[in-house]
Amino acid sequence: MNTRILAGLVAGGGKYCLLLAGLWLAVGCNPEVSEAPEVMVQLGTVQSGPAIQAEELNGAIARQPGNASLYAHRAEFRLDAGQAEQALRDINQALELDDAPGEFYYLKARALRAQGQLPGALAAAATASRHGYASASLSLLVGEAHLAARHYSAALDHLDRTLRQEPTNAGALFYKGLAYAGLRDTAQALSFLQASVKLDPHQPETLHQLAFLANANHQPLLAAPHAARGIRLAPTYGPLYYDYGRQFDLQGAPDSAQQYFLKALRFDSTLYRADYRVALALFRQRQYKAAIPHLQRAVRRSAGLPNVRQMLAESYEAQGMHELALAQYQQLVLENPGNRHWTYKVWKGKARAAGQPTNEPRREAVAPVAPLSISRPSSGF
């Protein structure tokens, strides 16, 4: 399964905010297609306030260029505004002026994490701790960074530390759910995600993760209300439409499922699972031409989806696009060495391209052999 790397937690002041991400955690899966919780996207809307506050500090910094705290404050505002690169420059400047405050290293860890620099973020967080900075936000950041690196046990250790400091931290419960999903402990994963939703029922991403995991473990009745609530909260968030479509799919309502998969793609064209599901239905209906663009996107983003390359090759072949079909069959041979069927398909494609006959030679009919007449030996009596 292809993976993408999670990108960044911004934690501070008891709040948590997730930036665009892409890690797919391994959990129990449908035998037809692997389903794993998708990752996190921004949980809150960034307002213009932090950016304006950062700009307002420009004059103060111009008047006091040696004041490290001013750079640190501007870095924090820039982080809250999603300006990670500028924030990192500010916090590095603050550290050049004063390398003692642990909070400065924590801000640096946040900036590095927002840029996807996991080792640097963890190193900065460790330095913050050595300089006496201890907070639930720091533990949460370190736990999330370990989760992004798939160090699930380490992630759980730091998330537990966060919850000892702040027992009602919904973000820590959310991440614990994903960590247990990564460890394939579905019961624990669902339990912590549900606990996070109870504390903060207005986070569409948490509802998506919960619905996705429930569907992945064939619990559509659990998934449906969470997906529906998420859609009400975030009516343009594509993954929630996928979740709602999937629960229809699992309950044997393919037409309704297809409608929601298409809606998901309208809001987010990168949802390759939705492309796959749409293509699967079209392929089964022999609507090969309509299936091809969905299969192309699905195979480009996750070639490991069950039979996706085979369906694409056969769809090309059905449409007379023989060169494209041959390329897919050749890839299937590479992925399945020794498979006679794909090897035959490659031979047939190459023969067609060379103008050679591709029909198997017919064998001449052989006249049936008359049955032998065998006499039983005499018994002598």
Provide, rounded to the nearest whole percent, the portion of the chain with pLDDT above 70. 81
164 to each of 52, 136, 157, 173, 286, how far by Cα in Å? 35, 9, 11, 12, 56
- Position 378 scores a pLDDT of 41
With 60 as the cut, is the pLDDT of residue 15 above it? Answer: no
* Helices 170-182 + 186-199 axis angle, to 10: 160
- Position 60 scores a pLDDT of 87
**How far apart are alpha carbons 155 and 147 in whole angstroms?**
5
**352 or 374, greater pLDDT:** 352
User: What pLDDT band is residue 298 in, cutting at 50, 70 and 90?
Assistant: very high
With 80 as the cut, is the pLDDT of residue 11 above it? Answer: no
With 60 as the cut, is the pLDDT of residue 263 above it? Answer: yes
With 80 as the cut, is the pLDDT of residue 43 above it? Answer: no
**372 or 288, greater pLDDT:** 288
- Position 6 scores a pLDDT of 34
With 60 as the cut, is the pLDDT of residue 153 above it? Answer: yes
Say which residue the tokens 């040696």 belong to.
66
pLDDT digit string, tens, across residues 312-327: 999 999 999 999 999 9
374 to each of 62, 308, 371, 377, how far by Cα in Å? 115, 58, 9, 9
**How far apart are alpha carbons 230 and 239 in whole angstroms?**
10
**How far apart are alpha carbons 223 and 5 in whole angstroms?**
26
User: What pLDDT band is residue 303 in, cutting at 50, 70 and 90?
Assistant: confident
Cα 380 from chain centroid? Answer: 85
**How far apart are alpha carbons 381 and 379 in whole angstroms?**
5
The structure tokens listed for 53 are 């506050």
Alpha-carbon dihedral 67, 73, 75, 81, rounded to 10 degrees:
-150
Cβ atoms of residues 148 and 118 within 8 Å: yes
Cβ atoms of residues 8 and 114 within 8 Å: yes
With 50 as the cut, is the pLDDT of residue 19 above it? Answer: no
| First-last CA distance in the chain | 78
Cβ atoms of residues 258 and 285 within 8 Å: no
Cβ atoms of residues 264 and 256 within 8 Å: no
SS (H, E, C) 219-243: CHHHHHHHHHHHHHHCCCCHHHHHH
187 to each of 127, 131, 152, 207, how far by Cα in Å? 36, 38, 16, 16
- Position 360 scores a pLDDT of 53
- Position 359 scores a pLDDT of 65
**pTM (predicted TM-score):** 0.78
**84 or 356, greater pLDDT:** 84
Range with the lowest mean pLDDT among 52-61, 145-154, 300-309, 333-342?
A: 52-61
**235 or 350, greater pLDDT:** 235
Rounded to 5°, the CA angle 372-377-381 comes to 150
Q: What mean pLDDT value characterizes the chain?
A: 84
- Position 358 scores a pLDDT of 64
**How far apart are alpha carbons 316 and 377 in whole angstroms?**
65
Element (H, E) at 258: helix 254-267
For residue 12, list its beta bridge partners: 15
- Beta-carbon-side half-sphere exposure of residue 159 (alpha carbons within 13 Å): 25
Q: Span 324-351, mean pLDDT?
A: 90
**374 or 138, greater pLDDT:** 138
**How far apart are alpha carbons 308 and 325 in whole angstroms?**
13
Q: Span 221-243, mean pLDDT?
A: 97
User: What pLDDT band is residue 25 in, cutting at 50, 70 and 90?
Assistant: very low
Q: Span 19-30, mean pLDDT?
A: 38
With 80 as the cut, is the pLDDT of residue 239 above it? Answer: yes
User: What pLDDT band is residue 35 in, cutting at 50, 70 and 90?
Assistant: low
With 70 as the cut, is the pLDDT of residue 32 above it? Answer: no
User: What pLDDT band is residue 51 in, cutting at 50, 70 and 90?
Assistant: confident
With 70 as the cut, is the pLDDT of residue 149 above it? Answer: yes
- Which SS3 state, helix, strand or coil, does residue 11 take? strand
